[in-house]
Amino acid sequence: MHRVAVIGVGCTRVGELWDKSLKDLIVESATKALDDAGIDKVDIVYVGNAYSKILQTQGNLGSFTVDSLGFEGIPAVSIEAADCSGSLAFHEAYKAVRSGLVGKALVVGVEKMSDSSPEEVAKALMSCEDQDYVAFTGVTQPGLHALVLRLYMETFKVKHEEIAEFTVKAHKNASNNPYAQFKNPLKVEDVLRSPILADPLRLLEYTTVADGSAALVLCSIEEAEKMGKKPVVEVLGSASATDKLYLPERIGKLSFNATREAAKKAFEEAKFSVDKVNFVETHDSSTIMGVISLEDLGFVGKGRGASLVVEGGIEIDGKIPTNTMGGSKGRGNPVGATGVYQLVEAVLQLRGEAGKNQVKDAKIGLTHTIAGVGNFATVNILGCL
Amino acid sequence: MLSAPRYWREIRYRYRLIGSRCLKCGKIYFPRRLVCAVCGSRKLEDYKLSEKGKIKTFTVIRRSPPLGYEKNVPYVVAVVELEDGVNVLSQIVDVSPEEVKIGMPVELTFRKVRENGKEGIIEYGFKFRPIFE
């Protein structure tokens, strides 16, 4: 088994990027990552994307990506697992490099959503759920999050404004992130006064249409040293896990097995526990998912996630700095690319390049992506070498 | 466009709220399963679920409904906990969204669910409605 390093990262700005196509996005992030690594060739490409088949009718993204980059002949793997697509692509690339079968791997996460109508996007967002018995009811993806939000507030007697605070913190961190989608500061009243998407979930509690791409280059530490490089960031643990697709079967727990299982496996591999983690990039596809994720990852007890947020525990200088570059709400959520953005942000933190949002003495970071309302999760742990 | 077989093969389950029961461990499921998620048995039978239950949690869809549901907005979607312990996702009808509460008793009903354009199949299925004393 080989120790694996991240030797290059790159990403595009996140937003409604009207002048950029799927290909433009891929090439921009991938070439930045290759330049950052100081290489121009890799042995394999892993692409994470959730919706190109639905929104662009563009399939076969492996070949599409390799060809866009002017590479030829190398293998490529295209991975779809909704919001976990990008982080799962990373996980699979990691396993390949760790095994020794692959030398240098490029991971690209990409999503292009702004070309499509709101109806098409809503349909795409529901594609990670059971079509015959969940989508058929007419529920939307925000509607599913709202079901969890209401039950959580009722069960733990938590106020909506406490949970909505997650968005306030997200926008605050995003304001210092040059590639974030939403840099405007918000007050909790703004969040609670925004239009209702699906009661009780408000517009500003949920992520929106975004385009973006992020990329990184992985290789073994030996390989990096052979190239005369001194890698800074190592992958210490990486895992993914699934859970039942039908939310009603598991909603009562208000906790997601997929997250807990992936975290357990990733920490087993890293051989330390959650108290060693200096910062976390989690997937606040909605405020409530952010809150529950903090609990499921073990940063705070069950039903206490919102209190941690309100008390400032997730701020840059807090107990566990969370979504340091704005998270999915602030940086934006180009779905299949989101997991790779998190990893890029974690690498920037570990290299001390996070600018105004730099976490002091950041040595170990955790990234966590969750698909839909918990049917799939990935957890990655990175550390300084 | 929705194909006739895709609609037709779910009719039995959607019209009558039929799930499945594991013949080995007795676990009941909705939607039906072909393999038991508890004991791994592949021997399951169709099982008619209870037609009554109560609302465990709910939402009201107000924006960006899926195609074919626009005329229903705003509509209530809830997790209904049936008397036999199974949770089912369903629209709640015959009630204004403001009156819906967690714990509200509801019963099965049969309704039109969605139209597929002017010429497509009109889909029907189960929904739930409040039981008023």
A370 SS3 class: strand
A344 and A10 Cβ atoms separated by less than 8 Å: yes
pLDDT at A197 over 80: yes
Q: Do B59 and A252 touch (CB under 8 A)?
A: no
Interface test with B, best of A113, A120, A123, A136 (most B CBs within 10 A): A136
Strand order across the beta sheet in which B44-48 lies: B28-29, B18-22, B44-48
Q: What mean pLDDT value characterizes chain A?
A: 97
By the CB < 8 Å criterion, does B19 face chain A? no
Burial of A223 (0-12, 13-18, 19+ CB in 10 A): buried
By the CB < 8 Å criterion, does B47 face chain A? no
B126 and B82 Cβ atoms separated by less than 8 Å: no
In this structure, what token pair is assigned to residue B82? 């049936």
Spans in chain B with pLDDT lower than 70:
1, 133
Q: What is the pLDDT of residues A31-79, one digit of tens each?
A: 999 999 999 999 999 999 999 999 999 999 999 999 999 998 999 999 9
pLDDT at B67: 86
Report which of A28, A72, A48 is spatially closest to residue A371, judged by C-alpha positions: A48
User: Shortest CB distance from B87 goes to which of A119, A146, A251?
Assistant: A251
For A170-196, b/e burial (b = at least 16 CB within 10 A) is: bbbbbbbbebbbbbeebebebbbebeb
pLDDT at A376: 98
A9 and A70 Cβ atoms separated by less than 8 Å: no
pLDDT at B64: 86
Share of chain A above pLDDT 90, in %: 99
In this structure, what token pair is assigned to residue A35? 């330049």
CB pairs under 8 A between A and B: 109
In this structure, what token pair is assigned to residue B115? 């139209």
pLDDT at A278: 98
d(CA A149, CA A160): 9
pLDDT at A34: 98
Report which of A80, A146, A82, A90 is spatially closest to residue B58, judged by C-alpha positions: A146
Residues of B in contact with A242 (CB under 8 A): none
Burial of A70 (0-12, 13-18, 19+ CB in 10 A): exposed
d(CA A139, CA A201): 13
pLDDT at A296 over 90: yes
User: Shortest CB distance from B62 goes to which of A122, A135, A197?
Assistant: A197
Give the confidence band of A119 by pLDDT, cuts at 50, 70, 90.
confident
Q: What is the pLDDT of residues A201-230, one digit of tens each?
A: 999 999 999 999 999 999 999 999 999 999
Give the confidence band of A196 by pLDDT, cuts at 50, 70, 90.
very high
By the CB < 8 Å criterion, does A155 face chain B? no
DSSP-assigned letter for residue A272: S
Using alpha carbons only, what angle is made at residue A194 by residues A190 and A196, rounded to the nearest 5 degrees?
150
Residues of B in contact with A148 (CB under 8 A): 57
pLDDT at A265: 98
CA distance, residue B73 to nearest chain A CA (Å): 10
What chain A holds in terms of domains, given with CATH numbers, is 4-117+209-233 (3.40.47.10), 130-207+236-383 (3.40.47.10)
pLDDT at A362: 97
C-alpha Rg value of chain A to the nearest Å? 19
By the CB < 8 Å criterion, does B128 face chain A? no
d(CA B21, CA B27): 6
d(CA A153, CA A161): 10
